Amino acid sequence: MAAAVDKVVRKGATAVALAVLMLVGIRAWQATQGPPLQPWHTIVPTELPADAIARGDWPAYVTAENKLFEQLHRDMQSQLQPGDRTPLNRYHDASLTSPAAFGRDWNRSFVLEPAGAALGVAVLLHGLTDAPYSMRSLAELYRQRGFIAIVPRLPGHGTVPAALTQQGRKEWYAAVEMAMAAARARAGGGLPVHLVGYSNGAALALRHVMGRIERGAPNDVDRIVLLSPMIEVNRFARYAGLAGLPAMLSRYAKSAWLDVLPEYNPFKYNSFPVRAARESYLVTADLHAAIEAVERQRRMGRVPPILAFQSVVDDTVSAHGVMTRLFDKLAANGSELILFDVNRTRAIAPMLRPAASGWSRTALQAAPRRYTLTVVGTASEGDAAAVARSRPAGGSALQAQATGLRYPADVYSLSHIALPFADDDPLYGHRPSGRRTVQLGAIAVRGERNALVVSQDSLSRLSYNPFHAYMAARIATEIRGQ
């Protein structure tokens, strides 16, 4: 019997090994195809290591960051070829997509100060491949309401995609701790502190809070606000490291990248390294372990109130996982999950995949929860007016409230990347304001295939939030509640 079992195990191990070899072979072949790596894929900036970030403070971090950007600019300009100096290359100083074209380089860490005496402090964490720009409008919202807004650039971001081949979760954790230390110092023990996170930044924010509770440290956050929180990523990210194995041989260096694309976005990478996918999974794994530890210690009651916003359909993270792996575990502490539903008007509804969006229809009908659940969607199949339907914590009766907004007729859903940006955002907005630079959100992609130098998929993905005003009002209510 034992011999038979061993034989089965050996066969299984052999099958797995062959599958891995096949994957590596396919990835090696793919690495010989497509466009070559460019300087922004090969120049790796030298950033502060995690222990140096931990030993330092906000001024030291910003000083090192300034030196980093200066050195990177010199290195990049020396390696750009004439063909790289195009109107859409963010690394060409005269291009339409140069960060300088926006009047300020929002790739860098920044602090917004209120006009009068501070009423609180907010730390805002951006997402993976993103930059502090994505937190700009919410930081201004906090500033206008008397809060100091601290927005760190997480290591590996805002520079070149190659930086994410080296920087990862250890450096991100250290940067969050450094920013929170700055917030505690500014709060002085008497002002409320809010922690705001978008996507990967949301996972980092939650891990910070859960980690302190697990260690028995005092809470340093009074309220948490999350946008498109990365609570659970797709299964591929768990095994993404295997896809990069051929990169150990220089001939197959491109296999270290899942996407090698033109860099036309001034404040977000288009190219995506394998290591970044792997690190995103490890962040969520660390977060799940921290949540489970707090549950075992029966300390979930110490988690501050959470206000989260999530699109019902999300191709980057599991929208349903935000409910099941976070909110369903919370104590009754005044938390609320707000879901942005798909457009269910008569013209669009038949085109939607029920498996992708059907769960939001039944979510409000489930047993009472310890948190408030709100779904923002169309009033009816014949009415695009947006209504917020809520079931309060512990309640069974549904409440409906008009938002004063409408679901745009040409939009069938929000997207993972849309939530932080208003429709007048200078870069991502549908009706952009400010300087007449590149306006990615206002481009209507209609025409023939294979004619653009940029990805049609990236231009058709919704880049702004039609319900941003509603979201901002809800966050403002949280601020006033302090």
Which CATH number is 41's domain given? 3.40.50.1820
Poorest-confidence range of 125-129, 195-199, 320-324? Answer: 320-324
- Mean pLDDT, to the nearest integer, of 242-254? 53
pLDDT of residue 154: 98
383 within some domain: yes
> Looking at the structure, do residues 267 and 385 belong to the same domain, yes or no?
yes
Closest by CA to 229, choosing from 163, 91, 325, is 325
> Looking at the structure, do residues 43 and 66 belong to the same domain, yes or no?
yes
pLDDT at 255 over 50: yes
Residues making up the chain, counted from first to last? 482
> Looking at the structure, do residues 340 and 246 belong to the same domain, yes or no?
yes
> Looking at the structure, do residues 368 and 439 belong to the same domain, yes or no?
no
> Looking at the structure, do residues 295 and 365 belong to the same domain, yes or no?
yes
23 within some domain: no
> Looking at the structure, do residues 110 and 141 belong to the same domain, yes or no?
yes
DSSP string over 171-220: HHHHHHHHHHHHHHHHHTTTS-EEEEEETHHHHHHHHHHHHHHHHTPPP-
For 154, the token pair is: 């997480």
350 within some domain: yes
184 within some domain: yes
Instruction: Decide if 431 contacts 146 (C-beta within 8 A).
Output: no
13 within some domain: no
> What is the pTM for the complete model shown?
0.90
284 within some domain: yes
> Looking at the structure, do residues 303 and 451 belong to the same domain, yes or no?
no
pLDDT at 261 over 50: yes
pLDDT in tens, 416-468: 999 999 999 999 998 888 766 777 877 766 666 666 766 666 677 899 999 99
Instruction: Decide if 131 contacts 158 (C-beta within 8 A).
Output: yes
pLDDT in tens, 159-186: 999 999 999 999 999 999 999 999 999 9
> Looking at the structure, do residues 50 and 107 belong to the same domain, yes or no?
yes
> Looking at the structure, do residues 315 and 339 belong to the same domain, yes or no?
yes
pLDDT at 191 over 70: yes
Total number of domains in the chain:
2
pLDDT at 337 over 50: yes
Instruction: Decide if 389 contacts 364 (C-beta within 8 A).
Output: yes
Residue 59, judged by CB atoms within 10 A of its CB (0-12, 13-18, 19+), counts as: exposed
Beta-strand runs (E) in 276-322: 306-311
pLDDT at 20 over 90: no
> Looking at the structure, do residues 144 and 286 belong to the same domain, yes or no?
yes
- Mean pLDDT, to the nearest integer, of 265-270? 96
> Looking at the structure, do residues 444 and 336 belong to the same domain, yes or no?
no
Whole-number Å distance between alpha carbons of 108 and 349: 41
> Looking at the structure, do residues 402 and 475 belong to the same domain, yes or no?
yes
pLDDT of residue 16: 45
Whole-number Å distance between alpha carbons of 174 and 396: 43
Q: Which domain holds residue 444?
A: 423-464
pLDDT in tens, 3-17: 554 555 455 555 544
**Residue that wins the pLDDT comparison between 149 and 437:** 149
DSSP 416: T
